Amino acid sequence: MSHTPDQTALLSAFGQLLRPLARLALSRGLPYPALDELLQAALVEEARRLHADAPAHGLVSRVSTATGLSRREAGRLLQARAADGAEAGPAPRRWLAGEVFARWMTDPACCHGGQPRRLPRQGAAPSFEALAQSVTRDVHPRTLLDELCRLGLAEWDAADDTVALQRNAFVPCADFTRMLALLADNVGDHLHAAVDNVLGGSGDAHFEQAVYADELSQESVRALRPVIAAQWAELFGRLVPLLERHIADDKAAARPQDQRVRIGFYSYAEPMAQPPIHQPPHGA
């Protein structure tokens, strides 16, 4: 498939944007079908916004043309959104490793005293093999065990060929949920700002600046951290009273208070992909 220069550049940018999201998805076993459904739903929702004035009888065709999805898929996702009264979300998909984990936690045959018991890897119930086969026979029990171990949910003891559930291997669910909410809010707004700036269709450009440096040592990166933290503390201390004052002034002046703002500050450091090769001085 051939692409325009803009589309080629866009695909390259998407490749960089998607890699950290792929890493996050794999870290929690989120399967591709759920992500595929989510992307399709997002494309359909944005296409619907672009064609907000289209007559109802022609909306499916316009969304299908804009997204490249079939009319059937476009219609299904539009109907799902209408049924939910909000943006269409991903259709429920089976996460087999998660189902095995949940059943292990709750099945009386796999528990003792309310706690998940260590199970023989193979054999008749209660065993991990029987547990996995009670969830699905489409995937081999060893494949499911490998995935649970990779995610830190289970541990296999090769010495006695038993498997134990590791409930404390994860960050507590509530904490992880809060971290994901912050990620979605902060990175989501940053991405909205960047996309608005690229498309140039929102009037005033959003402020988005960064400084980049390479060829630093680990010691130098560590030395920067307290400086960065101090700069944020200073900015935070100035912004919060200013924002509160603006809110109070807007309220006193009876101005419509229908705007929101997010002001962020971040830093990121990692090893260079190709460390520089320093040439020895001439004559050395």
Q: How confident is the model at residue 57 (pLDDT cuts 50, 70, 90)?
A: confident
pLDDT of residue 92: 44
Tokens at 240, concatenated: 């919060």
The answer to which of 111-115, 171-175, 245-249 has the lowest mean pLDDT is 171-175
The DSSP symbol for 255 reads: -
pLDDT of residue 279: 62
For 52, how many CA atoms within 13 A lie in the half-sphere containing its CB? Answer: 3
**DSSP result, 258-276:** ---------------SS--
- The stretch 142-168 carries a mean pLDDT of 87
206 pLDDT higher than 90: yes
pLDDT of residue 203: 66
- The stretch 45-72 carries a mean pLDDT of 88
pLDDT of residue 172: 39
Residues in a beta bridge with 157: 162
* Residue 250: alpha-carbon gap to chain centroid: 36
Compute the mean pLDDT over every residue in the chain, rounded to the nearest whole number: 85
Cβ-contact 116, 165 below 8 angstroms = yes
The answer to which of 118-127, 183-192, 195-204 has the lowest mean pLDDT is 195-204
Angle, helices 56-67 vs 71-84, to 10°: value is: 120
The label of the residue with tokens 């023989």 reads: 120
Percent of the chain with pLDDT over 70: 89
171 pLDDT higher than 80: no
Burial of 276 (0-12, 13-18, 19+ CB in 10 A): exposed
- The stretch 92-112 carries a mean pLDDT of 79
141 pLDDT higher than 50: yes
Query: What's the CATH architecture for 96-169?
Result: Orthogonal Bundle (1.10)
pLDDT of residue 276: 72
What does the buried/exposed string (b/e) look like for 105-141 if buried means 16 or more CB atoms within 10 Å of the residue's CB? eeeeebeeeeebeebbbeeeebbbbbbbbebeeeeeb
- Classify strands 111-112 and 119-120 as parallel, antiparallel or unpaired: unpaired
Read off the pLDDT of residues 226-244 as tens digits, 9 standing for 90 and up.
999 889 878 887 887 888 8
Read off the pLDDT of residues 77-100 as tens digits, 9 standing for 90 and up.
988 877 776 544 444 456 788 788
pTM of the full predicted structure? 0.67
pLDDT of residue 96: 86
Q: How confident is the model at residue 104 (pLDDT cuts 50, 70, 90)?
A: confident
Burial of 194 (0-12, 13-18, 19+ CB in 10 A): middle
55 preceded by a cis bond (ω within 30 of 0): no
- The residue extents of the domains of the chain are 9-84, 96-169, 171-199, 211-256
User: What is the SS3 assignment for 156?
Assistant: strand
Read off the pLDDT of residues 35-55 as tens digits, 9 standing for 90 and up.
999 999 999 999 998 888 888
pLDDT of residue 169: 44
69 pLDDT higher than 70: yes
- The stretch 182-203 carries a mean pLDDT of 87
